[in-house]
Structure formats: C-alpha cells, structure tokens
C-alpha cells in the first residue's frame, strides 16, 4: 500500500483580535501561533493505521513556508515514512493553484500511490476543495466527508461517507483514489514533543515551489477583506443572581422553551 | 530529575503500605500505589489507565520510609504512555493546547495579560527599568475568570505598598509543573527553556509565584535558574511582618485553612498562610483534622484538572462537609486548583460556606 497525505500548517485564529494588512488584503499572522490542520491530523492517523494493517509507505506532503516542516515531522512521528515540503512564502489561497502544484509534484516525483488522503478542509480558508480538485486534475475517483475506511482489497476501497441529515453512505471506489477525511474518523494518537524532535532524523525533502509551477494559475484574486458587521439583538441581562435567573426564565418561557 | 525511576531502586520498597495509607485515591478508586510499585518491580504492571487517577499530591513520596518516590514512578510510567501516544482524549487536548498556546486551556497566548485590564494602574513589564522581582501569574490565574481576581488583588497590595515588581505578560508561558507530571517531559523542557531564558534575559532575581504548582517547578525542576522563589503567602507575610501592610479591618468569621499539597506537604510552607490569617482582627482560625502534612488533596494536581476520570466521591466534597462540621463559614486556601475544586464542591453540595483565596480575605481588611 502506498499512501500520500496532504498536511497544512495553519494559523490558530479563533480567539485572536485579527488585524488586516497589505491594503486590507491579508490577515496579519505575525503574532499568531500555528498548528497542524486538525482535519489533516485525522487523515495522517488514518493513513498510519492503513499502513500498520497493510504495510507499505506513507508520504506526508505540505505546501508552505519553512515552518511547515513541523507538519511533516508530526506526520512522520505519527507513523508515516517520508516527508516533502514544497516551499513557498506566498500565501496560496486558491485551491486550484494548490491542487495543480500537488499534481505536478506527484507526477514529477513519480510517486505512485493507492490512496491520497487530505483533510476535508483546512481551518484557515475552509474551502474544502483542494482534495476534490486534485482528484479531478489527476482524473481519479474521489470521496469526501469520509467517516470510515471499512475495507481495502485488491484494487478497491469501501468507505463510509457522512451525508446531510445524519445519514451515512457506503461506497466502493476503485484504487488509486483520493479521499477527504472528516474529523472523528478515528482518535489520533498523541505525538510527544520528543517524538516530533526525533522525527527530524526521518527522510524529508525540501523543494522550491518553482519546480512544480507548470500550468499553475490562481483563479481567485483577493480584492479586500472585511470584518462581518457587528450583529445586533443581544441583550445583556443585569442585576443580582436571582433577578438574572428570573429574567432568563421568563425569556425562555416567552420563547416557548419547555 | 527527568529520568524515570530505575527499577533497581524499587527493590528498596518494603511494601509497608504507608503510600497507599496516605493516598487520596486509595480505596475509592482501583488505583493502589503499593501494588503498582510491586507490579512494576516484577514486570507485571499492565493497568495503565489506573495511572491517571494519581493527582501527584506527593503524600506517598513524602511518607515513604525508603525513599522509593512512588509518585515519581507514576510520572515515569505516564511518560512511557505519552511517548507511545496513549493519553486520554481530554489530556490530549490540554497537551496540544499547551504546545500551541502555552496554556492547557488553549486560550490565546496573546491574551495572557488580559487579567490586568480592569486595574487602574499599569504593571510594568519585568524588562522595563530596574526591576528584579517577578510576579509569575500562572495559566489558571491569567485566564480563569474566577481566579483572575487573585493576581489583581496581589498586584493591588504591592502597588499600594509601593513594592516594585514586574510581570512577563504575554511572554509568560506555562511553568510545566503538571505537564511534567502527566509525563510529557519534552514539552516540559520546552516550557522550562522558554521561561528560564526570559528569567535570565530580564534579570529576574526573585520570583513570587501565585500558584504553589509554579513555585514547586521553579524551586525543584528549573535547575536553580532563579534561587529565590517564594509563594505569594510568604511574600505577603514578609510585608505584614515588616509593617509594610497592615490588616486593620475586622473579619469576624470562622475560617478553616486548607493546605494545598504543593505548598504544604511538598514544599513545607505551612505557617505563612496561617500567620496572615491570624494577623487579621476578629478572624477565628480553625483547623481540619487532616491538616498540614496530612492535608487531604483536592485532586487538582498531576493533570487531574484536565483529565476526566471517575474517581468516586470527590475529596473536595469531603473537605467541604468537614468544614461544615467544624462550623466554618469560610474555607481559605492559597492555590487556584484547590480554590476551583473546593468552590465547585461547595456549589454541588449547596453548602452554606464560602471558598476564598487568602488575597480575597486580605483585600477586605486592608
């Protein structure tokens, strides 16, 4: 089994007071901590489990700045065998452009795989598109929202997909295939700091993005970023505890909560 | 210090049972520390999940007549689990959070100084000017809304008394005391390195730690990078003794003091918190039957604040019930974990008892 996982190093912005820079076309990420995209953590764990069960080699591939090496090292510490960082300091927001670079990388490096896993989406831009576009560009079968990989047999994989309304869909896909993995598919193993440090000794390649730029074209141009307008309608209930509780109780009753 | 206990050292164990006898988890959970030592010695230890019951109170290590240090055996065994990637989900999150945001709750590291916002004076950054006394705030008190009042109270007292001190603000990172105790030594080393680098860079000569857990780490696990490390109760008692501050107002309540494990039994600070309380007019100080070295652990240490385990009746509730029987109106303590656990227990029991940090009582009488 040969498995490739795409892993993105993303800013953790949930609680930050974000500032816009470069003519309001980008977010200032100077003081923001980064981590491995949560969805990709599940994809790496799934890949590691597949390799443990079936044998073979796993690649973790990232596209980003040099600090994204930590994403590779986490993937390697979790059980994958090889890492490659396609280095660029540019913020590539367009999933088409990212997918084209990954396609060029896989072809140019001659990496033959049975499965390519990505997270369903990245926490930063949340396009949820790179995996699907890459499958299209490679002309490979694709499933997204994968919540379970049930069976891998000769030339086929059976997966469970999460659908709207809480339904699950079981599909059989021929290999090689691209799967976008949903969180909750497994419980990722913890990777210790020592483990990540030790992974620095594992095989990694650092390649300039220019080597894989053929046919690369961004279809998205950011004109301006804006904060959503503050919403109205919130009511701050003041008073002592009993008053507040009484007040909330009345409001809930009024709204028909029983 | 970070090396796991060597198995040959466990031969010293005479199975006297003083460890289990003092363990706050013994009896009410399946964790038996004496049995653990025995099984590890005979390569029969296979009940990994039981390790997460240990709250690192240190009672077993303090009482062991043979210096086997059972609580460190727990840490060593946990470290093996961490390296193998086997940690409870709740702990996984706390460790990831500490790696990314430098605190177990995953709050933004850029908001670590938000507790200072309501103050009507500025606390200087330790690197500004000729400051050598560092107030180390700790993750809980920097972020937890219930506990943020503690650093504010302490800062107000020092500000009013004209005592020069500084903080690291957003540069402060978790002390790593609990991180080491859950067995994540690599992460602990990273945190220690970052704090130590800042202590040196900004010429810190004295650390006043608000949490006994931070104090313990700086005293025992930071290779002596700063020699003079105090708990805030020791610093405040110094100020009261010197007459720099004077509790004048009356506090006519019956107060029982709960010894935090990392302050009392693990670092021998028993008297200063009590002296502060005794210095307050009209305050009647009571004692738990289990006090000082024998204080009953609130179960907040050793990562237990982040790990969900079913540990039977909570010790916090036992503590609150005993305080009620003593006729106490207030449980005073000097550790944020104890404060949260005891207060939560009092709420659950609907007990007519207040749980307060010593600074909160002091603020009412200064």
> What would the mean pLDDT of B106-122 be, rounded to a whole number?
97
Distance (Å) from the alpha carbon of A245 to chain B's nearest alpha carbon:
16
Domain CATH code at residue A199 = 3.40.50.620
pLDDT at residue B3 above 70?
no
In this complex, the residue of A15, A189, A190 whose CB is nearest that of residue B111 is: A15
pLDDT at residue B211 above 90?
yes
* Confidence at residue B1, expressed as pLDDT on a 0 to 100 scale: 41
* A173 contacts A141 by C-beta, under 8 angstroms: yes
Orientation of helix B149-161 relative to helix B358-365, angle to 10°:
40
In this complex, the residue of B91, B108, B186 whose CB is nearest that of residue A192 is: B186
A-B C-beta contacts closer than 8 Å: 50
DSSP, collapsed to helix, strand or coil, labels residue B224 as coil
Domain ranges, residue A151? 2-212
pLDDT per 10-residue tile (average), chain A, 258 residues: 97 94 94 97 98 96 97 97 97 95 98 98 95 98 97 95 94 97 96 96 96 93 92 86 91 86
* Confidence at residue A233, expressed as pLDDT on a 0 to 100 scale: 81
Each as own residue / partner, the long-range contacts of residues A157-160 (CB below 8 Å, 24 or more positions apart, any chain) are A157/A115
pLDDT at residue B326 above 50?
yes
Nearest 5°: the CA angle B339, B337, B25 is 110
Report yes or no on A32 lying in a domain.
Answer: yes
* Residues in chain A within 8 Å Cβ distance of B108: 15-16
Q: Which residue of B has its CA nearest to A10?
A: B100
* Confidence at residue A231, expressed as pLDDT on a 0 to 100 scale: 86
The alpha carbon of A91 is separated from its chain's Cα centroid by a whole number of angstroms, namely 16
Chain A interface with B: residues with Cβ < 8 Å: 12, 15-17, 31-35, 78, 187-197
C-alpha torsion B25→B30→B33→B39, nearest 10: -170
Distance (Å) from the alpha carbon of B20 to chain A's nearest alpha carbon:
30
User: Which two structure tokens, joined as six digits, stand for B126?
Assistant: 């330790």
Helix ranges, B149-258 (H) = 149-161, 177-181, 185-201, 212-220, 232-242
Q: What are the tens digits of pLDDT across the range B48-71?
A: 999 999 999 999 999 999 999 999
Report yes or no on A246 lying in a domain.
Answer: no
> What would the mean pLDDT of B293-299 be, rounded to a whole number?
96
Distance (Å) from the alpha carbon of B93 to chain A's nearest alpha carbon:
9
* Confidence at residue B317, expressed as pLDDT on a 0 to 100 scale: 97
Report yes or no on A224 lying in a domain.
Answer: no
Helix ranges, chain B (H) = 18-22, 33-41, 59-63, 70-83, 89-101, 139-143, 149-161, 177-181, 185-201, 212-220, 232-242, 271-278, 315-326, 336-348, 358-365
CB contact (8 A) between residue B99 and residue A194: no
Supply the CATH classification number for the domain B246-365.
3.40.50.10700
CB contact (8 A) between residue B92 and residue A190: yes
- Confidence bin at B233 (pLDDT 50/70/90): very high
CB contact (8 A) between residue A12 and residue B100: yes
- Confidence bin at B159 (pLDDT 50/70/90): very high
Distance (Å) from the alpha carbon of B67 to chain A's nearest alpha carbon:
29
Q: What's the rounded Cα separation, in Å, for the pair B281 and B342?
A: 25
Query: What strand order describes the sheet that includes A168-174?
Result: A168-174, A156-162, A142-153, A177-181, A115-119, A2-6, A57-64, A82-87, A203-208
Burial of B313 (0-12, 13-18, 19+ CB in 10 A): exposed
Q: Which residue of B has its CA nearest to A18?
A: B110
ipTM: 0.90
In this complex, the residue of A16, A33, A195 whose CB is nearest that of residue B100 is: A33
| Domains: count for chain A | 1
Orientation of helix A38-54 relative to helix A69-77, angle to 10°:
40
Phi, psi of A47 (to 5 degrees): -60, -45
C-alpha torsion A190→A80→B4→B262, nearest 10: -20
C-alpha torsion B56→B228→B199→B134, nearest 10: 90
* Confidence at residue B243, expressed as pLDDT on a 0 to 100 scale: 96
Token look-up 């004496």 returns B34
Phi, psi of B211 (to 5 degrees): -105, 135
Mean pLDDT of chain B: 96
Q: How many of the other CB atoms lie within 10 Å of CB of B247?
A: 21
pTM of the prediction?
Answer: 0.93
Supply the CATH classification number for the domain B7-83.
1.10.1060.10
Report yes or no on A121 lying in a domain.
Answer: yes
User: Which two structure tokens, joined as six digits, stand for A224?
Assistant: 């301006």
Q: How is chain B split into domains, by residue range? A: 7-83, 89-238, 246-365
Query: What strand order describes the sheet that includes B133-136?
Result: B133-136, B206-209, B228-231
Q: Which residue of A has its CA nearest to B87?
A: A190
Q: What percent of chain B has pLDDT over 90?
A: 95
* Residues in chain A within 8 Å Cβ distance of B303: none
- Confidence bin at B8 (pLDDT 50/70/90): confident
* Confidence at residue A175, expressed as pLDDT on a 0 to 100 scale: 97
């Amino acid at each position: 089994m040969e498995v490739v996982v795409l892993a993105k190093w993303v800013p953790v912005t949930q609680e930050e007071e974000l500032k816009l820079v470069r003519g309001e076309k980008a977010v200032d990420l100077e003081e923001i901590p980064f981590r491995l995209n949560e969805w990709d953590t599940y994809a790496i764990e799934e890949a590691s489990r597949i390799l443990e069960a079936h044998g073979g080699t796993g690649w973790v591939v990232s596209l980003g700045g040099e600090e994204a090496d930590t994403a590779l090292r986490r993937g390697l510490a979790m059980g994958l065998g090889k890492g490659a960082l396609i280095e660029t300091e540019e913020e590539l927001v367009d999933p088409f452009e990212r997918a084209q670079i990954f396609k060029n990388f896989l072809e140019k490096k001659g990496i033959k795989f049975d499965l390519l896993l990505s997270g369903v989406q990245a926490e930063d831009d949340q396009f949820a598109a790179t995996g699907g576009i890459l499958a299209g560009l490679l002309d490979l079968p694709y499933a997204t929202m994968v919540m379970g990989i049930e069976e891998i047999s000769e030339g086929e994989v059976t997966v469970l997909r999460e659908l709207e309304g809480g339904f699950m869909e079981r599909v059989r896909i021929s290999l090689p295939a691209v799967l976008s993995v949903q969180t909750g598919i497994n419980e990722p193993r913890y990777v210790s700091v020592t483990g990540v440090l030790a992974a620095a000794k594992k095989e990694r390649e650092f390649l300039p993005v220019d080597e894989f730029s053929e046919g690369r074209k961004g279809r998205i141009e950011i004109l301006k970023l804006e904060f959503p307008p503050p919403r109205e309608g919130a009511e701050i209930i003041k008073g002592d505890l009993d008053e507040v509780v009484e007040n909330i109780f009345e409001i809930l009753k009024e709204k028909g909560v029983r | 210090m970070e090396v796991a206990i060597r198995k040959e050292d466990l031969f010293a164990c005479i199975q006297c049972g003083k460890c289990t006898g003092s363990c706050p988890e013994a009896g009410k959970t399946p964790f038996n520390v004496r049995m653990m030592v025995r099984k590890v010695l005979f390569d029969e230890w296979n009940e990994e999940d039981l390790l997460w019951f240990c709250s690192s109170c240190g009672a077993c290590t303090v009482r062991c007549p043979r210096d086997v240090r059972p609580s460190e055996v727990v840490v060593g065994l946990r470290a093996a689990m961490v390296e193998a990637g086997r940690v409870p989900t709740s702990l996984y999150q706390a460790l990831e959070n500490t790696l990314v945001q430098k605190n177990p709750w995953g709050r933004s590291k850029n908001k670590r100084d938000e507790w200072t916002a309501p103050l009507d004076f500025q606390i200087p950054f330790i690197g500004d000017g000729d400051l050598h006394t560092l107030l180390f705030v700790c993750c809980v008190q920097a972020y937890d809304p219930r506990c943020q009042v503690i650093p504010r109270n302490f800062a107000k007292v020092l500000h009013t008394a004209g005592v020069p001190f500084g903080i690291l603000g957003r540069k402060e990172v978790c002390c790593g005391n609990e991180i080491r105790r859950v067995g994540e030594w690599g992460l602990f080393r990273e945190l220690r390195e970052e704090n130590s680098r800042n202590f040196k860079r900004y010429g810190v000569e004295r650390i006043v730690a608000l949490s006994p857990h931070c104090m313990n780490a700086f005293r025992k696990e930071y290779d002596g990078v700063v020699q003079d490390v105090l708990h805030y109760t020791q610093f405040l008692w110094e100020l009261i003794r010197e007459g720099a501050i004077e509790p004048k107002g009356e506090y006519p309540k019956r107060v029982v003091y709960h010894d935090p494990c990392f302050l009392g039994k693990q670092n021998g600070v028993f008297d200063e918190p009590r002296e502060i309380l005794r210095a307050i007019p009209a305050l009647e100080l009571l004692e738990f039957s289990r006090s000082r070295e024998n204080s009953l652990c609130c179960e907040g240490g050793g990562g237990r604040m982040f790990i969900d385990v079913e540990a039977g009746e909570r010790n916090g509730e036992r503590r609150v019930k005993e305080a009620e029987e003593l006729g106490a109106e207030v449980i005073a303590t000097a550790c944020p974990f104890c404060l949260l656990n005891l207060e939560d227990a009092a709420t659950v029991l609907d007990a007519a008892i207040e749980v307060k940090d010593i600074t909160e009582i002091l603020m009412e009488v200064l």
